[in-house]
Amino acid sequence: MATVKFAVYGALAGGDPTKSMARDVSANLQTALDNLEPPRLVKISNDTLGGDPAKNSLKHFAAIVTVDGVDVPFACQENQTIDFG
């Protein structure tokens, strides 16, 4: 079983550190994980995570997911695939 504690997806618009365009995607990720059997491979994308929070910017993803009782950090860029176990 995998339980999402926290997940965020977004970018700094135009690379400007004062223009964060990110959102909490914990519920989206949990839904994706609930519908998969191991291995839980999830492509991190606008489609999977409910839309584009930062148009025309490369997005990044970070999450803490409890897998078999252990909190595991995950991170990647948009359009990469993560095995959540």
Distance of alpha carbon 24 from alpha carbon 69, whole angstroms: 22
What are 35-78's pLDDT values in tens digits?
A: 998 889 999 999 999 999 999 999 999 999 999 999 999 999 99
Quote the pLDDT of residue 29: 98
Quote the pLDDT of residue 73: 98
Question: Looking at the predicted structure, is the pLDDT value of residue 24 above 90?
Answer: yes
Sign of CA dihedral 36, 85, 26, 52: negative
Question: pTM for the full model?
Answer: 0.92
Tokens of 50: 């409910």
Neighbouring C-beta atoms of residue 43, cutoff 10 Å = 14
For 17, 31, 67, 69, 82, the CA distances from 50, given in Å and listed in that order, are 24, 11, 23, 27, 17
What are 6-16's pLDDT values in tens digits?
A: 999 999 988 88
Per-residue pLDDT band for 28 (boundaries 50, 70, 90) equals very high
